Amino acid sequence: MSGRPRDPELEQRLLSAAWLLLTSEGYDAFTLARIATDANAHRSDVYRRWQTKAQAVTAALAKHLPPIPEVDTGSLYLDLRAIVDGLATAWSAPWMDGLVGLLADLRRDPEAEAAFQAMAGRRRGVVAAVIERAVHRGEIPEPVNPYLPGDLLEGPLMHRQMLTRRPITSEDLDLIAQSAHWLLTRTRVTR
């Protein structure tokens, strides 16, 4: 038995309200009731879509999180550098502080965890494509785990935002991209 079809306009309003709430007030202030109020919708509209805060946040992230730039400069280093710029923009956003709360909540919410992992997988696919092209061009001497380079690029940014709380400079981004390039190719970047 199927119910009423979902209203795409209502879905957009709810996701937009969720994103605005997350980006303006953070994860701690985020509630399903607040999404309904801000979207001028009924609470039941929200609860039909998401039973938990983690599910709603994950849906908002999947819809609105800026994508990792898809680049093909013909150079592994330049591709890595462009990707790390895009990642740095996302990790520098103040609402990323709430990610710690979301990650903790995901452990108790298998449905949200699965949706979050699917979203992360789509984002990792961009880096995997860069690595695959570099292997085909002969820049990387042997195939590597296509997801490890994404961890190498994003890990320092995550650490900086969540733990040391220091700003990320352009020089830091150069070093991150150069380090990932060296680990993958065992060659230094020459410019």
pLDDT at 2: 54
Distance in angstroms (rounded) separating the CA atoms of residues 57 and 62: 9
pTM: 0.85
Q: Using N-to-C axis directions, what is the helix angle for 53-64 and 110-137, rounded to 10°?
A: 30
pLDDT at 146: 74
Domains of the chain: 8-52 (1.10.10.60), 65-185 (1.10.357.10)
71 neighbors 47 (Cβ within 8 angstroms): no
pLDDT at 4: 60
Q: Over the stretch 13-24, which tens digit does the pLDDT of each residue have?
A: 999 999 999 999
Residue 11: both structure tokens together: 């879905």
84 neighbors 153 (Cβ within 8 angstroms): yes
Q: Over the stretch 13-69, which tens digit does the pLDDT of each residue have?
A: 999 999 999 999 999 999 999 999 999 999 999 999 999 999 999 999 999 988 888
Q: Using N-to-C axis directions, what is the helix angle for 170-185 and 76-91, rounded to 10°?
A: 140
pLDDT at 7: 84
pLDDT at 191: 66
| Residue ranges, the chain, pLDDT below 70 | 1-5, 191
86 neighbors 66 (Cβ within 8 angstroms): yes
Residue 155: both structure tokens together: 């890990």
